Amino acid sequence: MTKMLIMAARVLALVALALGAAWWFGYYELPIHLHMTFGGLFVLTLWALAFKVMPVSKGVAAGAFVLGLLLPVVGLAQLHMPIASAPWLLKLVHVAVALAAIGIAEAAAKRAKLVANA
């Protein structure tokens, strides 16, 4: 189950990052809701990994839940500004939080695998 979750998280994150990068570089004909859908599915997968690792690593689980909440909040903050005026710093923070969420998903999967093998 853990292997399936981490593989899904990797694919969803990669697609969401690619769609977000395309949007950032001016391909506005791509629907932003597609990026948001893949990002939302990634967050749900991240939370599933967090639930799986919660009994053994509460810190990783808590970090996953916090990053999973923070990621869409920062992303949605960009929608309330016109495209041209969304500050690049807010976009950069959104990418940084996404990369941190990917990292914590990997950490959660590694800890869950260690527990399963023990």
Q: Which position has the higher pLDDT, 79 or 110?
A: 110
Could you give the CA distance from residue 66 to residue 79 in angstroms, rounded to a whole number? 21
- Tell me the two tokens of residue 43: 């967050």
Per-residue pLDDT of 47-104, as tens digits, reads 999 999 999 999 999 999 999 999 999 999 888 876 656 678 888 999 999 999 999 9
Could you give the CA distance from residue 20 to residue 16 in angstroms, rounded to a whole number? 6
pLDDT at residue 85 in the model: 60
pLDDT confidence of 118, banded at 50, 70, 90?
low
pTM of the model: 0.91
Could you give the CA distance from residue 10 to residue 112 in angstroms, rounded to a whole number? 16
Amino acid at 16: A
Report residue 67 CA to chain centroid gap. 8
Burial of 86 (0-12, 13-18, 19+ CB in 10 A): middle
Inter-residue contact 63 to 104 (CB < 8 Å): yes
